[in-house]
Amino acid sequence: MKKFSIAMLSMVLAGSMLLTGCGGSKTADSSSDAQDSSTSTSDTADYKLATEGTLTMATNAYFEPWEYYDGDKIVGIDPEVAQAIADKLGLKLEIMDMDFDSIITAVSAGKADMGMAGMTVTEDRKKNVDFSQTYASAIQAIIVPEGSDIKTADDMEGKKIGVMQGFTGDLNCTEQFGEDSVVRFNKSAEAVMALQQGKIDCIVIDNEPAKKIIEANKGLQILDSKYSQEDYAIAFAKGNDGLRDAVDKALGELIDDGTVEKIMNEYIVAD
């Protein structure tokens, strides 16, 4: 496992060096930029962007209500908060949808400027990316078919646990219950189907997406017993401090003036 992450890290480093080397990433410099900054609160824009004038956000849009498709448009809490951040910085927002597992690599390699995907801050991820302040908290919920003999998190011992590849539910359950206990899926819809067919015994996923899943699927329920407590933040390439600081400042203002809460309330019904 250690070996793997070191190999991955050097791959990522090589990738980002390559990008810088061939001028793939650009520096937004307000002094030499003719760009109109009247709408921008960032008077000292000094950061690298994947595409000039654009804030490129890497996400995985199968995580309602945080990010999901409405037709061919990606909507949700994260895209709306990101749009508000981009507006403050005087940038256009572009969203790149990818596997959740690829987000950190894309950000580290400078292909995207930030990863925003209901992403939990973990010590391991902090080795590869820097995080903004946290903007939401979550718990890992356990979804079971009604009448399941799984009543608490401990009852998952010896069961087949459905998780989403690379999500914290995957990382935590693999660590606690072992590789053989987890069955990994790329989309929650596939996990739900497996649960309904009895191929797995439960699904561990963040609580808000869990609520959306049981709303849409009869015969499933969320256990009262929750798994772990987590915080979401935005991820940046290590060393891209100028951008991280600018986004962090904008995010802080949006939290303070209630915009983030207002956006969350549009998508999340209090329980």
Residues at the site binding ligand ARG, with contacts judged by CB under 6 A:
59-60, 62-63, 66-67, 100, 117-120, 167-168, 206
User: Least distance to ligand ARG from the beta carbon of 145, Å?
Assistant: 22
For ligand ARG, the closer of residues 47 and 68 by Cβ is: 68
For ligand ARG, the closer of residues 28 and 117 by Cβ is: 117
For ligand ARG, the closer of residues 45 and 203 by Cβ is: 203
For ligand ARG, the closer of residues 19 and 193 by Cβ is: 193
8 A C-beta contact, residue 22 and residue 48? no
8 A C-beta contact, residue 129 and residue 121? no
Q: Is the backbone peptide bond immediately before 79 cis, with ω within 30 degrees of 0?
A: no
Closest to 164 measured CA to CA, from 145, 187, 142? 187
**Residue 87 to residues 41, 47, 73, 93, Cα–Cα distance (Å):** 9, 16, 19, 8
Task: Sort residue 213 into left (φ over 0), alpha (ψ -120 to 50) or beta.
Answer: alpha
CA atoms of 245 and 261, how far apart (whole Å): 21
Q: The dihedral of CA 9, 109, 48, 230: what is its sign?
A: negative
Phi, psi (rounded to 5 degrees) for 54: -130, 135
The residue type at 9: L
CA atoms of 170 and 185, how far apart (whole Å): 10
For ligand ARG, the closer of residues 119 and 223 by Cβ is: 119
User: Least distance to ligand ARG from the beta carbon of 25, Å?
Assistant: 24
**Residue 211 to residues 47, 221, 270, Cα–Cα distance (Å):** 38, 9, 11
- Which two structure tokens, joined as six digits, stand for 16? 């980002």
CA atoms of 212 and 77, how far apart (whole Å): 14
For ligand ARG, the closer of residues 26 and 267 by Cβ is: 267
User: Least distance to ligand ARG from the beta carbon of 38, Å?
Assistant: 33
8 A C-beta contact, residue 66 and residue 208? yes
User: Least distance to ligand ARG from the beta carbon of 119, Å?
Assistant: 4
For ligand ARG, the closer of residues 60 and 240 by Cβ is: 60
User: Least distance to ligand ARG from the beta carbon of 190, Å?
Assistant: 13
User: Least distance to ligand ARG from the beta carbon of 11, Å?
Assistant: 21
For ligand ARG, the closer of residues 67 and 248 by Cβ is: 67
User: Least distance to ligand ARG from the beta carbon of 236, Å?
Assistant: 15
User: Least distance to ligand ARG from the beta carbon of 62, Å?
Assistant: 6
